[in-house]
Structure 1
């Protein structure tokens, strides 16, 4: 579905990605892990047309390099960004409807109403709070809203940037269970996560980024058991636990 080849990205004169090559197959959950500043968010923003880049990005065999962000959304890619970036003064339902902005312009109101109900079925808490200001939601509820808003664009590829950031463990479990459910329902997912253990636990494959380069890749289960990954991202306790089993 997604093919990235030799991608470089820049903030001014600073090179944030250095020749990244990776891919996502239809129906997969693929995770990008790495330390802060490794380039994970930059990679997602490059896919969305938000960062100056060069190289090649193709989606379903067609290049999406240099497309405007709204054109990328129209192709079938949407993102739940890091930090959620909800519109705090607007209601929950207004935030969700904004996710379907391009579809409103295409006069898909009946389909949008059906999809809005699906989001409320996926996240019942959003239904309960649909008329409340989004800024009054808890962190976990705001993350649900950010994912729901991205889904309202009806993407075939969903980009998730740090969906577990700042959440309590129980809420992290709910969000990750939702990610797995979305994959079962036909949404392909590329997810950035600092919580490597959680991300690799639900992913099919993973890539490890370090200072703008991919240094490791493979099946998620293999990365979970890779000594370099456990040492750098999973911690000493996890390594000793797995080696002692």
Structure 2
């Protein structure tokens, strides 16, 4: 579904991504793990068209997208949940969700959009309770639910998630991760960037390790979880989640 070939991305003279190649197949959850500053967020922003690639190619369902504008990429079926949520604080919960479907109103009509709004409320009942509340007054966990719900309202084929567990209490992390799994079971393909490598590998099918802008390791979630270098750097030596699988 998503194929990245020999990607280089820079901010001015600072080269952040260096010859990155990866793929995400339909129906997968693929995680990208690495330390702060490794280039994980930059990779998602490049896929979304918010940062331009200096070299390389990005294909989505066989279509080259590395020269497309962000709104064109959204229309093709890619939505991103940004790091830090970036919800529209002065707007209500419902207004935020409706904005997620901005490109669908004319083509699909009000009925289709409202049906998906009800699906978001089913996934996240708290948002239904807070429907008329200003988004900026929500808790961190509720804002993360809203950011995911807003991205879902675009009806993506591929969902990009940037640090969905950031700043959340453990119980909320469990809840968010279960909802990500539920969306995947419904057929949504997911590429997740997550500094909490342990949780990312628990839900992913495959993963890549990014260090200083380069892919240094790839494999199934189980293979990465059992790799000594990954365990030492990201999981802790005592991590045994996959030891008995």
TM bracket, shorter-chain basis: over 0.9
> 1:126-184: CA deviations, max 9, x gaps?
00001000011111110000000000000000000000000000000000000110011
The corresponding residue for 1:185 is 186
Query: Does structure 2 conserve the Cα–Cα contact (< 8 Å) formed by 1:9 and 1:46?
Result: yes
Shift in Å at residue 7 of structure 1?
0.4
Distance in 2, Cα, partners of 1:225 & 1:27: 24
The corresponding residue for 2:141 is 140
Matched residues, number:
244
Residues 102-181 of structure 1 aligned to structure 2 (within 5 Å): 102-106=103-107, 108-181=109-182
Query: Does structure 2 conserve the Cα–Cα contact (< 8 Å) formed by 1:2 and 1:25?
Result: yes
Distance in 1, Cα, partners of 2:16 & 2:107: 36
Q: Give 5+ residue unaligned stretches, structure 2.
A: none
> 1:8-40: CA deviations, max 9, x gaps?
001111111000000000000000000000000
Distance in 2, Cα, partners of 1:135 & 1:102: 24
Distance in 2, Cα, partners of 1:115 & 1:91: 17
103-112 vs 51-60, greater mean Cα deviation? 103-112
Query: Does structure 2 conserve the Cα–Cα contact (< 8 Å) formed by 1:76 and 1:154?
Result: yes
Q: What secondary structure, in the 3-state scheme, does the structure 2 residue paired with 1:125 have? A: helix
The corresponding residue for 2:50 is 50
Shift in Å at residue 237 of structure 1?
3.8
Structure 1 ranges of 4+ moved more than 4 A: 241-244
- Determine whether 1:13 maps to 2:13: yes
Shift in Å at residue 110 of structure 1?
1.1
Query: Does structure 1 conserve the Cα–Cα contact (< 8 Å) formed by 2:222 and 2:242?
Result: no
The corresponding residue for 1:4 is 4
Distance in 1, Cα, partners of 2:232 & 2:22: 23
The corresponding residue for 1:68 is 69
Q: Give 5+ residue unaligned stretches, structure 1.
A: none
Distance in 2, Cα, partners of 1:48 & 1:119: 22
TM-score normalised by structure 1 residue count: 0.96
Relative distance call for 1:236 and 1:107 in structure 2 (3 A) is closer
> 1:99-126: CA deviations, max 9, x gaps?
0011124352110010000000010000
105-114 vs 90-99, greater mean Cα deviation? 105-114
Q: What secondary structure, in the 3-state scheme, does the structure 2 residue paired with 1:56 have? A: strand
- Determine whether 1:59 maps to 2:60: yes
The corresponding residue for 1:232 is 233
Distance in 2, Cα, partners of 1:108 & 1:200: 38
Q: What secondary structure, in the 3-state scheme, does the structure 2 residue paired with 1:106 have? A: helix
